[in-house]
Amino acid sequence: MNKLSDLRKSYELAELDESGAAGEPLLQFRQWLDEALKAEVPEPNAMTVATVGEDGRPSTRIVLIKGLDERGIVWFTNYESRKGQELAVHPFAALQFHWVELERVVRIEGRVEKVSAEESDAYFHSRPLDSRLGAWASPQSQVISSRAVLVANAAKAAAQHGLKPERPPHWGGYRLVPERWEFWQGRRSRLHDRIRYRLEGGAWVRERLAP
Q: Using CA atoms, how far apart are residues 139 and 52, in angstroms rounded to an integer? A: 21
Annotated binding site for substrate: 66, 123, 127, 131, 190-192
Annotated binding site for FMN: 61-66, 76-77, 82-83, 140-141, 184, 194
Query: Which of 111, 132, 190, 198 is an active site residue?
Result: 190
- Look up 147 and say whether it is catalytic: no
Three-point CA angle 149, 154, 155, nearest 5°: 100
In this structure, is the dihedral angle defined by the CA atoms of residues 145, 125, 70 and 38, taken in order, positive or negative? positive
Annotated binding site: 61-66, 76-77, 82-83, 123, 127, 131, 140-141, 184, 190-192, 194
Q: Using CA atoms, how far apart are residues 43 and 37, in angstroms rounded to an integer? A: 9
Q: Using CA atoms, how far apart are residues 96 and 48, in angstroms rounded to an integer? A: 5
Q: Using CA atoms, how far apart are residues 76 and 91, in angstroms rounded to an integer? A: 15
Cite the active site residues: 190
